[in-house]
Amino acid sequence: MVAKISLGNSLYGSLVYNGEKINKEHGRVLDTNKIYNDGSGKINIHRVFEDFQRWMPQSTKAEKTMMHISLNPHPDDRLSESQYIQLAHEYMEKMGFGDMPYLVVKHEDIDRHHIHIVALRVRPDGSAIDSKNNYYRSKEITRELEKKYGLHTAERQKITPDMPLTKIDPAGDIKRQVANTVKMVGMRYKFQTIGEYNAILSLYNIRCEEADGRVNGREYHGLVYFATDDNGKTIASPIKASRLGKFAGREAISQRYERAKEKIDVKPTKRMVSEIMAQSSGKDDFIAGLKENNIDLVLRYTEDGRIYGATYIDHNTKTVLNGSRLGKDFSANALDRWFKNPTEKPVVPIHQPQPDNSNNRTTGDSSQQNGQNQGQHQGQQQSQSQYGNAPQTHSQGNDFDNAPTLPGLDLFQVGPGYDPEEEAFIRAMRRRKKKKRRGPSL
C-alpha cells in the first residue's frame, strides 16, 4: 500500500476536490471523525467546512494547517468499504491523528480504487502535529498494515531509462501516468522550445501549457499539463506541474532547453530525413518512410488545413527538432507546398559516400608512400587555395560529409554552415566564368 502525503493551507480546496469526485459519482464518503456524516455517502461541502472550522484554533504558528493523504492498495487487493474504513482509522491512529477531525472518501474514478483522507493537523491549543519524517513513519505503518491484513506489497514505480513510453490510459491513474511520462521524456529526449516539448509529449497524449499571471500581487510563471485523447481533446482535469514534481516545473524544463543547445547535433537527423524525402512521392510515403527509420513527424494545422508547424522526433538520437532547424526545405511551409502539389517537392542534395580504396594500395616502403601522399595532398591544397576553397577530406565523421556540390561548378563546396563571404565569392566567380564564355567586350 502506497501512501501519499501533502501538507497545505487550503482546507476548502481539498474539500472541493473530493466533493467533485462524489458529485460526478466517482467517489463516496466512507466515514468521518469528529465531522458530521449523514451516512448517504454524499458531502455538503459548506457544512463539512464549517465543522472543520469549529475545530480550528483562533491562532497558530503553523503555516500549513491541514493534511491530505491518499492510501493506495496494490491493484490486486480488492477491499470492501468496511476494510477501507478500518485501514483508514488504523493508519490515522498510528500517524498520531486519532483525535483529529478528518474525512475519508473513496475514489472510484479509476480501476484501482483508493481512499483520500482530509485532516486538520493543528490542535485546538494552536500546536501542530509534527510532520518530520512523515515519509518514513508512513512507510513503516503501511508495511505493518500489509502484513496484518495479508495485503500485497505495493511500491511506487521507479523510473528507469529503459522503461517503455506508452499513451495515457483513461482507465488508469492519469496523474501518475502523466508524471511518469513527463519524467521519462525529460530524461531521454533533447528539445529547445515549448513547441518541441509538446511535440514529443503529444505522442503519448499529453499537452503542456505555460501559465503566467499574478496572484495577490505576485507574479507566477508555471506549467499546466493536460491528458488528452488521440484527437487532442482533454479527458481529465488539468494538472499543475507542482503536483507532479519539480522535474515537471518551468524552471526544470527551461534548464533542459539550455542543456540541449550544447548537446544537439542535427546532422544525423538531417541526413536521414533527406534520404527519405528524396525517395518519397508524397505525404503518406514520406511519413511512412520516417516511421520505418524510427522518426516521427508531428504536423500542426490551421483551421483551414494549412500546415503551420512541423517537428521531427528522432528516436535514434533522442532529439526533437523543429523543421526549420534542419533547413527551409524541411520546414512547415515547404512541406505544405509539397503535400498539396507534388511538383513543389524540395530538392534536397544527398551526400554520396566516397569509395574506400585503402584495400587496393600496394605494400612497399611506407615512408616513401606517405611522402608521395603528402606531396599530392599539398598540391591539392595549393591548387584549391587559388580559388579560396579549403581542402576536403573524406574521413569518417567529417563535418563536410553532407556538403552538396554546386551545379555546374564542382570546384566549389559549401561547408556545414552558411558563409556570406564565401557565397559572394562563388557568385563572383560564376559571373567571371560567364564573361569568359561570351568573350571580351568590344
257-313: per-residue pLDDT in tens? 999 998 999 999 999 999 999 999 999 999 999 999 999 999 999 999 999 999 999
Q: Tell me, what's the pLDDT at 385? A: 40
| pLDDT > 90 fraction of the chain, expressed in percent and rounded | 47
Q: What is the pLDDT of residue 107?
A: 87
Whether the predicted pLDDT of 98 surpasses 70: yes
pLDDT at 368 over 50: no
Per-residue pLDDT for 1 more than 60?
A: yes
The model carries a pTM of 0.54
User: What mean pLDDT is predicted for residues 321-340?
Assistant: 94
Q: Which range has the worst mean pLDDT, 194-203, 309-318, 348-357, 425-434?
A: 348-357
Q: Answer yes or no: is pLDDT of 378 > 60.
A: no
pLDDT tens string 198-228: 999 999 999 999 988 765 666 778 899 999 9
State residue 373's pLDDT score: 47
Model confidence over 228-242: pLDDT tens digits?
A: 999 999 999 899 998
The mean pLDDT value for 108-136 works out to: 86
pLDDT at residue 431, as a whole number: 67
Show the domains of the chain with their CATH numbers.
2-149 (3.30.930), 174-263 (no CATH), 267-344 (no CATH), 389-442 (no CATH)
Mean pLDDT of 113-126: 91
Q: At 330, list the grid cell.
A: 524541411
Residues with Cβ < 8 Å from 388, sequence gap 6 or more? 422, 425
Q: pLDDT tens across 14-60, in order?
A: 888 888 878 777 788 999 999 988 888 888 888 888 999 899 988 88
Is the pLDDT confidence value at 366 over 50? no
